[in-house]
Structure 1
Amino acid sequence: MQLSENAKKYLLEASKWANFIAIFGFIIIGLLVIMSFSISSIMAGLPEGSLGGLSPRFFSFFYLIAAGIYFIPVFFLFQFGQKTRQAILEDDHNLLAFGLKKLKSHYKFIGILFIVFTVFYLFLILFGAFGALFLG
């Protein structure tokens, strides 16, 4: 399979945007990690019971977990951008295949995450509806 000049141009532009989004994503991950270390001290000053019985450590743990989950697709996107750009510039089909594999991994992870959160929210809605029926 040969790539036309337009296809190469589109892939090169896509790789630049992927790198931009990934670098911005890494910055957000860094902010989430910083927030995870500072949120417990910020929330420790709140009045007792204002957190609904949750410990400030829970929120620190939550931010660290969110950063970890967010890291995976951002890293895949970064790899796609780097390897695809390198493949186009060096005319290397193996690097292009690797870059496209990472793009597939990025979308697969996002798709699985979408399914997990959709099911989670459906359970919350059902739980809330049954709670309103039987407790309200």
Structure 2
Amino acid sequence: MEQKSAFDSFELEVSDEIKVLLKETTSWTYFLSILGFIGIGFLVIFGIFFGAIMSAGALRNNNPYEAMGFSMGYFGLIYVVMALIYFFPVLYLFNFSRKMKSALSNTNKADFKSAFTNLKSHYKFMGVFTIVIISIYVLAFIVGMFAAASF
């Protein structure tokens, strides 16, 4: 015979106190996502101007990477790539804010689920990104150890 879990019949109750807490959380996540979009805009603008200025001539004659065939203008591209990477978690946070606000004001279960789906995606992206960055640090440390040992 199949046993039922206590969670099979569990209904989650969203009380008025929880709704107030979610509404306050939504305000803060909306604020942080707007600041994130502004930061992304600054990264893109800075990357474009930095790349253009560096390729145009500011360090054209004093390029320390010239022997490797690397233009200083490519450093601006790094900022644009950083902005692109940062865009997705900020978008997930923004969508969480929007959907949760809609769910709380209209008592909409679909928006409530979508809000938490976006919040999960935000944290999943940040978790995977953190693992990738830590892996790069570990790899750089190992390469540095081997490079130091060869001298």
- TM-score calculated relative to the size of structure 2: 0.84
- Structure 2 equivalent of residue 45 of structure 1: 58
1: CA distance between counterparts of 2:140 and 2:45? 30
Instruction: Name the structure where helix makes up a greater proportion of residues.
Output: 1
Residue 41 (structure 2) pairs with residue 30 (structure 1) = yes
- Structure 1 equivalent of residue 107 of structure 2: 91
Residue 13 (structure 2) pairs with residue 2 (structure 1) = yes
Higher relative contact order (CA 8 A, sep 6+): 1
Q: Between Structure 1 and Structure 2, whose CA radius of gyration is higher? A: 2
Partner AA of 1:11 in structure 2: L
CA-based RMSD of the aligned residues comes to 1.5
Partner AA of 2:48 in structure 1: F
The alpha carbon displacement at 1:51 in A equals 5.2
- Structure 1 equivalent of residue 123 of structure 2: 107
1:49-77 Cα offsets, whole Å, 9 max, x none, are 34575422321221111110000000000
Runs (5+) with no aligned partner, structure 1? none
2: CA distance between counterparts of 1:110 and 1:88? 26
- Structure 2 equivalent of residue 74 of structure 1: 90
2: CA distance between counterparts of 1:26 and 1:3? 31
SS state at 1:59 partner: helix
Length, aligned pairs only:
135
Q: Is the 8 A contact 2:92 2:121 kept in 1?
A: yes
Partner AA of 2:58 in structure 1: G
Residue 142 (structure 2) pairs with residue 126 (structure 1) = yes
Equivalent in 78, 86, 91 of residue 62 of structure 1: 78
- TM-score calculated relative to the size of structure 1: 0.92
Among the aligned pairs, what percent are the same residue?
34
